[in-house]
């Protein structure tokens, strides 16, 4: 791979466009704003383990992989293939300042190449993000009955009770 891909700084404005220029990822503006406030690009760049490239001026920078994975997951994606499908959305790529997202095999190769040190770097960034977010959020936004309860599943739950004893899945399946 000889071309170099990175994430450019960008300015954006909101305007009404014909539907063929619209993006289904419009809600990702909020995700992008939070990640920018957190300084995700700076955190990823500081994590040297996330850049296994020998030629730093070629290929995808780590922020492109991380952004692709994050935005595919926050858009409902569940596989590495979803990163590549983000290339179909010109408005999203323009908004994020990314010329092209990597394909499925490139994402998989990057994940293998970063290895255990890369996994540790991602864990560290996630912990820093969670700490950063909790410092800024009102406790009532993430506490239930005075306690922090976390669900890492997209299943919607109907809950009641101090310890979620009345939790029930709200769909058939």
Domain count, the chain: 2
Instruction: Please check whether residues 53 and 86 belong to one and the same domain.
Output: yes
Pairwise CA distance, residues 13 & 134, whole Å: 29
- Reading the chain (173 residues) residue by residue, the pLDDT tens digits are 678 888 878 776 666 767 666 677 778 888 999 999 999 999 999 999 999 999 988 999 999 999 999 999 998 888 999 999 999 998 889 889 999 999 999 999 999 999 999 999 999 999 999 999 999 999 888 888 888 877 665 555 566 666 666 666 555 54
**Which pLDDT score is estimated for 91?**
85
Instruction: Please check whether residues 87 and 172 belong to one and the same domain.
Output: no
Instruction: Please check whether residues 29 and 94 belong to one and the same domain.
Output: yes
Pairwise CA distance, residues 108 & 4, whole Å: 18
Instruction: Please check whether residues 71 and 152 belong to one and the same domain.
Output: no
Structure tokens at 60: 């995808």
Instruction: Please check whether residues 108 and 169 belong to one and the same domain.
Output: no
Instruction: Please check whether residues 16 and 86 belong to one and the same domain.
Output: yes
How far is the CA of 19 from the CAs of 16, 24, 92, 98, in angstroms?
9, 10, 14, 22
Instruction: Please check whether residues 157 and 87 belong to one and the same domain.
Output: no
Pairwise CA distance, residues 77 & 11, whole Å: 26
Instruction: Please check whether residues 74 and 149 belong to one and the same domain.
Output: no
Structure tokens at 57: 């001026």
**Which pLDDT score is estimated for 173?**
46
Instruction: Please check whether residues 130 and 156 belong to one and the same domain.
Output: no
Instruction: Please check whether residues 49 and 111 belong to one and the same domain.
Output: yes
8 A C-beta contact, residue 89 and residue 24: yes
Instruction: Please check whether residues 48 and 125 belong to one and the same domain.
Output: yes
**Which pLDDT score is estimated for 153?**
59
State the residue range of the domain holding 30: 4-136
Instruction: Please check whether residues 100 and 128 belong to one and the same domain.
Output: yes
């Amino acid at each position: 791979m000889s071309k170099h891909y990175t994430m450019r700084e960008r300015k954006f404005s909101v305007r009404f466009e014909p539907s063929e220029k619209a993006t289904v990822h419009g809600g990702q503006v909020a995700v992008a704003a939070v990640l920018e406030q957190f300084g995700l690009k700076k955190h990823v760049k500081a994590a040297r383990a996330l850049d296994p490239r020998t030629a730093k001026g070629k290929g995808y920078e780590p922020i492109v992989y991380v952004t692709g994975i994050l935005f595919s997951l926050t858009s409902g994606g569940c596989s590495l293939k979803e990163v590549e499908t983000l290339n179909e959305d010109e408005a999203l790529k323009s908004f994020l300042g990314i010329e092209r997202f990597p394909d499925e095999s490139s994402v998989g190769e990057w994940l293998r190449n970063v290895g255990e040190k890369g996994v540790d770097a991602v864990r560290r960034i996630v912990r820093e993000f969670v700490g950063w977010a909790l410092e800024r959020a009102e406790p009532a936004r993430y506490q239930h009955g005075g306690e922090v309860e976390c669900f890492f599943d997209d299943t919607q739950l109907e809950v009641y009770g101090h310890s979620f004893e009345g939790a029930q899945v709200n769909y058939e399946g």
